Amino acid sequence: MEFSKQDVKKELSVILPKEDIYIDEPMSKHTTFKIGGNADVFVKVRNEEQILKIVKFCNENNIPMNIVGNGSNLLVRDNGIRGIVAKMCMDSYHFIDECTVNVEAGMLNAKLARILMENELTGFEFASGIPGTIGGAIRMNAGAYGKEMKDIVLDAKVLTKEGKTEILKNEELEFKYRNSIIAKENLIVLEVRLKLKKGDSQSIK
């Protein structure tokens, strides 16, 4: 990086609380395999405004940036990751109608499965045991038991490498087996709308 790590921390402290910025953070703390060297600068992102500003900062200063969720599909080499690693901690949700829910990218699949079960919504059960976040599940079109994310996604709000937000409908997400346009074009998932069906909470459980 042209900037020193401390310079980057100073610049980012305008965007993020200082307690959400870490220098030389071991990635072994943030992967389920508990391996990996240090990230030069590791940040926790808690809202859309923060990630927009971080991407803008990285673009303007030619600083490499990587996005992580729960680290459950991630192997990090011993020499770590250069630049900025941003962990998506955005995990709020709201119901649009009785069968449609809007979920931020950092929501854990297991947590979302419980929320949907409590609200008697069926269709997400297949993903309840898939480790990771909804953002990662969309990126790789996660699936199990003959079901995939493409079966329940209406659309996703994404951030491009240029720092622009877009809404991509299901067909525009180009879902394939364990792949999507998110992965192919290295887009950042911000939030997703899922369409479920009414069910019985005991049957769902």
Q: What is the pLDDT of residues 87-127, one digit of tens each?
A: 999 999 999 999 999 999 999 999 999 999 999 999 999 99
Q: What is the pLDDT of residues 12-60, one digit of tens each?
A: 999 999 999 999 999 999 999 999 999 999 999 999 999 999 999 999 9
Confidence at residue 104, expressed as pLDDT on a 0 to 100 scale: 98
- Whether the pLDDT of residue 68 is over 80: the answer is yes
pTM listed for this prediction: 0.94
Short-list 151, 145, 149, CA closest to 182 = 149
For residues 35 and 75, the answer to whether their CB atoms sit within 8 Å is yes
Beta bridge partner(s), residue 67: 86
- Whether the pLDDT of residue 202 is over 70: the answer is yes
